[in-house]
Amino acid sequence: MEFKTAGSFELTTFEPVETEEREGASFGRIRIAKTFTGGLSGTSEVRMLSVGGPDGAPASYVAVEHVTGELDGRKGGFVLQHTAWDTAGTTIRVVPGTGSGELAGITGEFHLTVDETGAHTYVLEYELG
């Protein structure tokens, strides 16, 4: 059975851990923490690797995010994998086999939007196996 839930989140920590400048690119390792409200209520820890172009604008990133909390009344956790390119958009998926507690067997896709004010919202489409 397919489910769909939505809400918002805030970045509670955005901490660059390491930056390395190379010709034409800047590499970074960043630690992020989030707090979710809505259909997903809980917290997450993110580990991100990014690369920026010579103008300083982000070019791409990859990240893994461990989410814990309550999803539509079910307690547990799971991991999201982020892959993003500046020109091709972002893909965020639940990593199969990472669901725990009442979220064991979860699969799905996570869609995020950042509006003009910087507010973050999400839609999570998921299945429980």
Could you state, in order of their start, the residue ranges of all structural domains in the chain? Answer: 2-128
User: 67-126: per-residue pLDDT in tens?
Assistant: 999 999 999 999 999 999 876 678 999 999 999 999 999 999 999 999 999 999 999 999
What value does the mean pLDDT take over residues 11-37?
93
* CB of 108 closer than 8 Å to CB of 94: yes
Whether residue 24 has pLDDT greater than 90: no
**Among the CATH numbers 3.30.1360.120, 2.40.350.10, 3.30.9.10, 3.40.50.150, which is that of 2-128?**
2.40.350.10
Q: Band of the pLDDT at 59, cuts 50, 70, 90?
A: confident
pLDDT, residue 87, reads: 66
- Structure confidence by residue, pLDDT tens digits, 42-58: 999 999 999 988 776 76
In this model, does residue 2 exceed pLDDT 90? yes
> For the purposes of burial, counting CB atoms within 10 Å of the CB of 77, is it exposed (0-12), middle (13-18) or buried (19 or more)?
buried
Q: For residues 22 and 64, which has the higher predicted lDDT (pLDDT)?
A: 64
pTM, to two decimals = 0.91
Residues 6+ apart with CB under 8 A from 120: 8, 9, 10, 11, 112, 113, 114
Angstrom distance (rounded) from CA 46 to CA 81: 10
pLDDT score, position 56:
67
How far from each other are the two terminal CA atoms of the chain, in whole angstroms? 8
**Which residues make beta-bridge pairs with 108?**
126
